[in-house]
Chains A and B, each alone.
Chain A
């Protein structure tokens, strides 16, 4: 069964420092996609970054990068130069195919707090 595990309920970081949010996944499918979303207190789930299972290079989007280690089944999110506005819940998710449709399976999330 497909499963996403986020073991850090909360993380604290000072402004301008880098932070790594952990994510491990479990699947037997060779083709899958990995996503990170940010959810501020307003509730909207904001897409941050995507990594395909066949992608050779780690994905990067501005201050966000994804440390993809396929053999270890991990897909950690690295946020460089943290900003106060980065304080939010962060969810790792995996997309997999299931009889003709694709759904996202989410982890339980990590709450990031950025302090001045």
Chain B
């Protein structure tokens, strides 16, 4: 196990609703990245948080937002849910001072939008 925990494991929402996904980083890690994995595809980078600030973002609209807390845990918020938001959402933590910068992933939250 990596020590990265995500909650909830599964979630069902309806179109237009809002959702919050949570992630606890591995001990000693200061960076959190979020990825969206649609069925049958590889994960796509959403954004990354370091020192409680968003320091990088992928090709996702502003209704995808996040937070990082002083204990390095993080939240992913999605507003105005669309059917295409149905996916596995993966959180990864890493240590910015590591030259390899290996990202360790949690088990993900599977979101279904009806």
Asked if chains A and B come from one complex, the reply is: yes
- Partner-B contacts on A (CB < 8 A): 4, 33, 35, 37, 42-47, 50, 52, 91, 93, 95, 98-109
Interface size class of B (residues with CB under 8 A): 20 to 34
Q: Does B33 contact A (CB under 8 A)?
A: yes
CA of A43 to CA of B44 in the docked complex: distance in angstroms?
A: 15
Is A95 a contact of B101 with CB atoms below 8 Å?
yes
Is A108 a contact of B48 with CB atoms below 8 Å?
no
The A interface, classified by DSSP as helix, strand, loop or mixed, is strand
CA of A98 to CA of B56 in the docked complex: distance in angstroms?
A: 8
Do A103 and B42 form a contact, CB below 8 Å, given A33-B100, A35-B102? no
Apart from the given pairs A33-B101, A108-B42, 8 other A-B contacts in the complex at a CB distance below 8 Å? A44-B107, A44-B108, A45-B43, A47-B103, A100-B55, A104-B103, A106-B44, A108-B41
Chain A residues closer than 8 Å to B50, beta-carbon distance:
101
CA of A100 to CA of B96 in the docked complex: distance in angstroms?
A: 11
